[in-house]
Amino acid sequence: MTSPSDPPRGPGPDPADRGRRARDYRPLDLHRLMEYGSVAQLTGRHRIARELAAPAPTDVVLDVGCANGYWPNLYLAGRAARIVGLDLDREEIGRAAAFAKRSLESEVRPSFGVSSAQALPFADGAFTLAYIMDVLEHVDDPSLAAHEVSRVLAPGGRLVVSVPGDWLFNWLDPHYPEHRHYSPGHLRAFFPGLELIVTHQTGFLWSTMWGKYVRFLSTRATRLLPGLRLRTAVLRGTNTTIDRIADLDCRMNYGFGAALCMVFRKPGR
C-alpha cells in the first residue's frame, strides 16, 4: 500500500471512469479557466466546507477529485500535518503540482497524484479528514467511490461530501442528466457505516436566478458596449458581484436547493 505522503502517479485514468467523460464540458465551465489566487475566491461548496469542517493542525487530509488543486493549495496548505490531492485527470494534477511548487514552501506543500476515486491506493484508515466534493455525480459507480473514501478514513475521522442537490429545478443544471442529483437520504445511504454530523442544502437564488438568468443576460448585454476593454471590465465586475451574492446565498441552509453538502464522522476513538 502507498502511504498518504506518496500518492501514485499511475498509468493514467481508470478505463472504467472514461465513459463519464464522453463529453468534455470543460470549455463550457468558464470558472475553471480562472487562476484563483486566494482563499477568499473559493466560494460556494468550498465556503460551506470551510465553515462546516475546518482541518486541525494534526490532520492527515485527502482531497478526492481535487481537479486543479485549488482546495489543497490555497486552503489546506499550512492548516494540516499532511495533504494529498488526487484526480484522474493527469493534466489537472500537473497544474496543481506546478502551482504548489512555484507558490508554496516545501514543508507545507501538498502531494498530488493520479487515481480513480473508485480504487484509492491507500491503506485502511490512512486519513483523519477527507473531502470528496462534486465527484460522486461523475463516477461510474458512486457506491464504490463512497466505500473507498470511507475505507481510508481513520476511526474518529471526518468526511465532507458535496453533490448537486435533487430538487425541482434539476433541469437548470446545464450538465443534467449526465450529472446525477442526490437527495440527503440518497446521499446518506452511500455511507451506512458513518455517523452524520450535519446536512447543508442550499443554492436557491444561485441556481434559479443569479447563476443562470442574470449572468446570462448580463453577459449578452455587455456586447452592446463599445470596445473590448470596457466590455471585459464590466463583465468582470458583474461576475464578481454575482459571485458575492451567490456566496451569501450558499451560506443559507434552506434544506433544499442545487448544492448539497454533508459531513460524516467514522465511529471509534
Q: Which CATH number fits domain 15-200+256-265: 3.40.50.150, 1.20.1260.10, 3.40.640.10, 2.60.40.1180?
A: 3.40.50.150
DSSP string, 70-112: HIIIIIITTTSSEEEEEES-HHHHHHHHHHHHHHS-GGGPPEE
Residues 6+ apart with CB under 8 A from 233: none
Q: According to the model, what pLDDT value does residue 179 have?
A: 85
pLDDT of residue 120: 96
pLDDT of residue 239: 75
Evaluated on CA atoms 202, 163, 179, 220, the torsion sign reads positive
Residues of the chain with pLDDT under 70: 1-38, 207-212
Residue-level pLDDT at 128:
97
Q: What is residue 36's predicted lDDT score, i.e. its pLDDT? A: 63
- Asked if 57 and 83 count as a contact pair (C-beta separation under 8 A), the reply is no
Instruction: Look at residue 231 in the predicted model and tell me its pLDDT.
Output: 81
Give me the residue spans of the domains in the chain. Answer: 15-200+256-265, 204-251
pLDDT given for residue 58 in this prediction: 96
Question: pLDDT per residue over 242-269, tens digit each?
Answer: 777 888 888 889 999 989 999 999 998 7
**pTM reported for the whole predicted model:** 0.80
Nearest to 186 by CA among 114, 137, 254: 137
**Residue 3 CB-density burial (10 A; 0-12 exposed, 13-18 middle, 19+ buried):** middle
d(CA 210, CA 254): 17
Q: What pLDDT is stored for residue 14 in this prediction? A: 38
**57-85: per-residue pLDDT in tens?**
999 999 999 988 989 999 999 999 999 99
Q: What string of DSSP letters covers the chain? A: -B-TTS----SSS-HHHHGGGSS--GGG-GGGGS---SGGG--THHHHHHHH-PPPTT-EEEEET-TT-HIIIIIITTTSSEEEEEES-HHHHHHHHHHHHHHS-GGGPPEEEE--TTS--B-TT-EEEEEEES-TTTSS-HHHHHHHHHHTEEEEEEEEEEEEBPSTTGGGSTTTTTS--B-HHHHHHT-TTSEEEEEEEE-HHIIIIIIIIIHHHHHHHGGGSSSHHHHHHHHHHHHHHHHHHHHHHHTS--S-SSEEEEEEE-S--
Torsion of CA 34, 38, 44, 45, to 10 degrees: 100
Task: Give the pLDDT of residue 77.
Answer: 94
Going by C-beta distance under 8 Å and a sequence separation of 6 or more, which residues neighbour residue 180? 136, 137, 142, 163, 164
pLDDT at site 192:
95
